[in-house]
């Protein structure tokens, strides 16, 4: 009797056997609904066998196998297995959490008919239809019919641009016989897409060399580090390499660090490839939208897949190219649950499929930069801006020891923004802290509002009259008096985006100011509206956080002002200055990208700091090599490999005791070092006390061998009051 081996979404690192009379090898990768305890749960079939270590009479029977959706491909199952082994996380949880929410439950999935990968034209019956035959109130139907009369045949992408609801009409009209559907041959549609593009930019010499170098090796694995200064046209290189991959009948996967980047990139790709089916995958999609996009990618209908880190697990039958944009960004590393790096898994998946992967950045991570220097990655450089007259912005440090900063803004900075306004150019004020102020302070006794669940202060949101924790989401009412001494003289201290916006409005009352942070971009179409307002010159001054620092192209932006950058110079995190330099390079690069000259002003108490000097010289290489020299002396990554055993409990001593017991179980070789358990940098988060134990080695192979053995031992420890996880290649401590 066939037995299926099923991976389930439970925190046990094992597979479970079930009887399945009709199971075959073709069912590997399919979903199966099975009994588990007194519940019904959904899992994924990993193997079909006749052998089992469980007595046959004790084996439970599967309820059903879902054959309506194509099975997950073997290569993807291998990726899940590698991910489970490398990050030491249960395989079932790896697999199930990579699937859309609607595929994780026991409810049958109702598949909607897709209109993608087809082009549509009027039939003889349809050609006899007249606009007057459709009531005026049916605006979308009239617009769709008008488009069919004018520019038929229409692709699914063109139909979606008319209205998302136009897709339903297409399915209805197919049933009525008004229109006919013809499959699009992908290689032909690529040519059509390139021809339909209104204007394809002429590549610079550097861009052309980069495209030719990569496309020459398109059918083999290479990790390409595309290092290009801000505004050098990395996206244009992506587009040309994607076109080459599509012409070979392949799919392209593009990973971006932030949801905020997807609308702009999606628009760019749809403009360049109007006839190519494309989907986006990110957390702003609802469950139905995500499932629909995932299925289009899985069936091979979508040829371009744009997504955030979870998209690295998307099943793609014809995958031919992976691009990781802004590869240095820490958002590619998951910080809870399965703590995987989407960038590193993208490289593994590319090697597995024997296809190229492009890592793009103006400021590569030191790990990637070191790999390029050592020859492990192949380096491609773009050292000049794509637009001829565009130059890198000038960078000036404003010494706030000499210039007073009432309300956080110095006089030279205000004057620069005023000058920019008079020239009808746009400005950007960057402060990486949302809310009104980071601290609520009593001037009498020194009391500050602190989150009871986290080791952090509550942030003042003055307009909402609330105190908020940006770590756990707690919200409380704004107190009328000090909770410690009763003094009513309590006041916000420091600046956040809301306070800077308010201050600018007082200094520049005629300016049109737009604040961009997570508070102002909560609703679904916020980013499209913001980008439209900026490009249509409806905004004079942008005030924002790191959401504005990456990838955006604002042609009329002239001045970038940076506030509170010094905070990162005090950090105990050895990666803090690397992240700060990357962030400042990225945000500075928003200025002067077209025919407008760019100026960057940084308010700082340390204008002679080597970091700011390197920034003024736009010298990433010099700064990176200095940091690498420091890392080598200190034995920090990329010269060693690390893992962090993290423990959480309601009592800190419980967490530390658990780590101490785990350390006593360990028998590391000489090449592996275990450090003592210590409290985390943020000791309390979301009501739990946190501690960790660092393990490191100069050999990744020996570290992994040790972790595999140690992981089994830790699993055997009694830990019902402690939650723990192994974080391999940690970014946060």
Q: φ and ψ at 198, to 5 degrees?
A: -60, -50
Residues 421 and 558 in one domain: yes
| 486 torsion bin: left (phi>0), alpha (psi -120 to 50), beta (else) | left
Q: φ and ψ at 418, to 5 degrees?
A: -60, -45
Question: Domain containing 131: what range?
Answer: 118-183
b/e burial code for range 305-344 (CB count within 10 A of at least 16 → b): bbbbbbbbbbbbeebbbbbbbbbbbebbbbeeebbbbbbb
511 inside domain: yes
Residues 612 and 718 in one domain: no
70 inside domain: yes
Q: Burial level of 716, CB count in 10 A (0-12/13-18/19+)?
A: exposed
Residue 116's pLDDT band, with cuts at 50, 70 and 90, is: low
| SS3 label, residue 602 | strand
Nearest to 554 by CA among 306, 266, 264: 264
Q: Burial level of 44, CB count in 10 A (0-12/13-18/19+)?
A: buried
> How far apart, in whole angstroms, are the C-alpha atoms of residue 632 and residue 118?
55
473 inside domain: no
Residues 209 and 350 in one domain: yes
- CATH number at 716 reads 3.30.70
Residues 310 and 375 in one domain: yes
Q: Kindly state the average pLDDT of the residues 103-116.
A: 72
Give the end of a domain, one of 597, 629, 661. 629
> How far apart, in whole angstroms, are the C-alpha atoms of residue 115 and residue 154?
11
Q: Are 582 and 609 in contact (CB under 8 A)?
A: no
97 inside domain: yes
Residues 259 and 290 in one domain: yes
| 111 torsion bin: left (phi>0), alpha (psi -120 to 50), beta (else) | beta
Residues 653 and 581 in one domain: no
Give the end of a domain, one of 604, 629, 654. 629
Residue 503's pLDDT band, with cuts at 50, 70 and 90, is: very high
357 inside domain: yes
Edge-first strand order for the sheet with 513-516 is: 394-399, 599-604, 557-562, 426-430, 541-544, 513-516
- pLDDT score of 268 more than 90: no
Residues 156 and 87 in one domain: no
- pLDDT score of 553 more than 80: no
Residues 589 and 699 in one domain: no
- CATH number at 9 reads 3.40.1440.60
- Residue 403, number of CB atoms within 10 A of its CB: 13
What confidence score (pLDDT) does residue 468 get? 93
Write the pLDDT tens digit of every residue in 24-58: 999 999 999 999 989 999 999 999 998 888 888 88
| SS3 label, residue 304 | strand
Q: Where are the alpha helices (DSSP H) in 60-107?
A: 74-87, 91-98
488 inside domain: no
- CATH number at 511 reads 3.40.50.300
Decide: pTM greater than 0.85.
yes
Q: Kindly state the average pLDDT of the residues 450-479.
A: 90
Percentage of the chain beyond pLDDT 90 is 59
Q: Burial level of 109, CB count in 10 A (0-12/13-18/19+)?
A: middle
- pLDDT score of 531 more than 60: yes
What confidence score (pLDDT) does residue 191 get? 57
Structure tokens at 720: 């019902």
Residues 679 and 721 in one domain: yes
Cα dist. 317→76, 321, 569 in Å? 10, 12, 46
| SS3 label, residue 683 | strand
Give the end of a domain, one of 602, 629, 656. 629
143 inside domain: yes
Residues 162 and 61 in one domain: no
What confidence score (pLDDT) does residue 186 get? 43
What confidence score (pLDDT) does residue 198 get? 46
Nearest to 392 by CA among 617, 204, 542, 167: 617
Residues 195 and 339 in one domain: yes
208: β partners: none
Total tally of structural domains belonging to the chain: 5
Min mean pLDDT across 71-85, 149-163, 249-263, 700-714 is at: 149-163
332 inside domain: yes
What confidence score (pLDDT) does residue 187 get? 40
- pLDDT score of 225 more than 80: yes
Q: Kindly state the average pLDDT of the residues 636-644.
A: 97
Residues 646 and 624 in one domain: no
What confidence score (pLDDT) does residue 188 get? 45
- pLDDT score of 592 more than 80: no
> How far apart, in whole angstroms, are the C-alpha atoms of residue 46 and residue 49?
10
Structure tokens at 227: 């290092």
Structure tokens at 421: 């306004």
Q: Burial level of 256, CB count in 10 A (0-12/13-18/19+)?
A: buried
Residue 199's pLDDT band, with cuts at 50, 70 and 90, is: low
> How far apart, in whole angstroms, are the C-alpha atoms of residue 632 and residue 579?
18
Structure tokens at 131: 């606009």
Q: Kindly state the average pLDDT of the residues 487-516.
A: 90
> How far apart, in whole angstroms, are the C-alpha atoms of residue 326 and residue 583?
11
- pLDDT score of 189 more than 50: no
Residue 183's pLDDT band, with cuts at 50, 70 and 90, is: low
Structure tokens at 604: 């700082």
Q: Which long-range contacts (CB under 8 A, 24 or more apart) does 190-194 make?
A: 190/243, 190/246, 190/247, 190/273, 190/275, 190/276, 191/247, 192/275, 193/272, 193/273, 193/274, 193/275, 193/276, 194/243, 194/272, 194/273
- pLDDT score of 385 more than 50: yes
Q: Kindly state the average pLDDT of the residues 148-153.
A: 79
Structure tokens at 544: 């924002």
- pLDDT score of 323 more than 80: yes
Min mean pLDDT across 172-176, 441-445, 691-695 is at: 172-176
Q: Kindly state the average pLDDT of the residues 234-258.
A: 94
Residue 674's pLDDT band, with cuts at 50, 70 and 90, is: very high
Please indicate whether residue 503 or residue 464 has the higher confidence score (pLDDT): 503
The whole-chain average pLDDT of the chain stands at: 89
What confidence score (pLDDT) does residue 643 get? 97
The strand pair at 599-604 and 557-562 is best described as parallel
Structure tokens at 597: 């000259």
Write the pLDDT tens digit of every residue in 691-720: 999 999 999 999 999 999 999 999 998 878
């Amino acid at each position: 009797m066939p037995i299926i081996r099923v991976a389930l979404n439970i925190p046990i690192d094992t597979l479970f056997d079930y009887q399945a009379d009709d199971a075959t090898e073709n069912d590997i990768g399919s979903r199966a609904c099975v009994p588990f305890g007194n519940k019904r749960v959904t899992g994924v079939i990993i193997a079909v066998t006749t052998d089992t270590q469980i007595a046959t009479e004790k084996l439970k029977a599967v309820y059903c196998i879902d054959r309506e959706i194509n099975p997950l491909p073997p290569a993807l199952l291998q990726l899940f297995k590698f991910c489970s082994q490398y990050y030491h996380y249960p395989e079932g949880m790896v697999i199930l959490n990579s699937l859309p929410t609607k595929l994780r439950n026991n409810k049958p999935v109702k598949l909607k008919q897709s209109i993608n990968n087809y082009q549509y034209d009027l039939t003889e019956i349809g050609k006899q239809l007249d606009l007057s035959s459709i009531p005026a109130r049916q605006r979308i139907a009239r617009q769709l019919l008008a488009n069919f009369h004018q520019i038929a045949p229409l692709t699914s992408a063109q139909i979606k641009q008319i209205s998302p609801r136009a897709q339903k009409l297409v399915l209805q009209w197919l049933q009525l016989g008004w229109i006919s559907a013809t499959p699009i041959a992908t290689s032909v549609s690529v040519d059509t897409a390139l021809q339909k593009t209104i204007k394809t930019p002429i590549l610079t010499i550097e861009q052309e060399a980069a495209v030719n170098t990569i496309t020459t090796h398109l059918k083999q694995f290479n990790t390409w580090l595309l290092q290009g200064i801000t505004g050098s046209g990395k996206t244009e290189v992506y587009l040309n390499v994607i076109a080459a991959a599509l012409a070979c009948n392949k799919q392209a996967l593009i990973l971006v660090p932030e949801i905020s980047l997807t609308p702009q990139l999606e628009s760019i790709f749809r403009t360049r490839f109007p006839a190519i089916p494309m989907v986006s995958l990110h957390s702003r999609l609802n469950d139905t939208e995500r499932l629909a996009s995932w299925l289009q990618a899985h069936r091979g209908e979508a040829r371009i897949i744009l997504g955030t880190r979870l998209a690295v697990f998307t099943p793609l039958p014809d995958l031919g190219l992976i691009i990781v944009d802004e590869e240095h960004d820490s958002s590619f590393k998951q910080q809870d649950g399965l703590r995987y790096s989407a960038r590193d898994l993208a490289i593994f998946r590319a090697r597995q499929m024997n296809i190229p992967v492009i890592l793009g950045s103006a400021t590569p991570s030191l790990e990637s930069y070191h790999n390029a220097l050592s020859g492990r990655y192949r380096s491609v450089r773009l050292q000049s801006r794509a637009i001829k007259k565009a130059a890198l912005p000038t960078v000036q440090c404003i010494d706030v020891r000499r210039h007073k900063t009432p309300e956080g803004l110095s006089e030279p900075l205000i004057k620069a923004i005023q000058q920019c306004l008079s020239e009808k150019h746009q400005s950007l004020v960057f402060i990486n802290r949302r809310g009104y102020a980071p601290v609520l302070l009593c001037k009498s006794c020194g009391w500050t509002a602190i989150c009871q669940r986290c080791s952090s202060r509550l942030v003042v949101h003055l307009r909402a009259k609330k105190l908020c924790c940006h770590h756990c989401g707690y919200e409380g009412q704004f107190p009328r008096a000090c909770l410690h001494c009763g003094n009513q003289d309590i006041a916000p201290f420091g600046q956040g985006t809301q306070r800077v916006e308010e201050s600018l409005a007082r200094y520049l009352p005629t300016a049109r100011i737009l604040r961009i942070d997570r508070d102002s971009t909560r609703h679904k179409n916020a980013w499209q509206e913001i980008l439209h307002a900026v490009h249509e010159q409806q905004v004079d001054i942008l005030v924002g956080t790191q959401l504005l620092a990456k990838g955006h192209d604002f042609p009329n932006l002239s001045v970038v002002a940076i506030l509170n950058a010094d905070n990162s110079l005090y950090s105990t995190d050895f990666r803090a200055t690397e992240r700060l330099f990357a962030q400042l390079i990225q945000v500075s690069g928003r200025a002067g990208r077209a025919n407008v000259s760019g100026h960057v002003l940084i308010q700082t108490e340390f204008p002679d700091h080597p970091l700011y000097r390197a920034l003024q010289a736009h010298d990433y290489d010099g700064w990176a090599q200095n940091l690498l020299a420091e890392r080598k002396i200190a034995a920090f990554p990329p010269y060693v490999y690390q893992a962090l055993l993290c423990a959480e409990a309601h009592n800190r001593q419980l967490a530390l005791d658990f780590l101490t017991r785990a350390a006593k179980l360990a028998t590391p070789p000489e090449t592996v070092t275990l450090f003592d358990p210590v409290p985390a940098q943020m000791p309390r988060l979301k009501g739990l006390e946190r501690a960790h134990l660092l393990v490191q080695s100069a050999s990744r192979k020996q570290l992994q061998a040790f972790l595999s053995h140690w992981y089994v031992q830790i699993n055997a420890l009694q830990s019902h009051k402690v939650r723990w996880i192994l974080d391999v290649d940690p970014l946060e401590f």
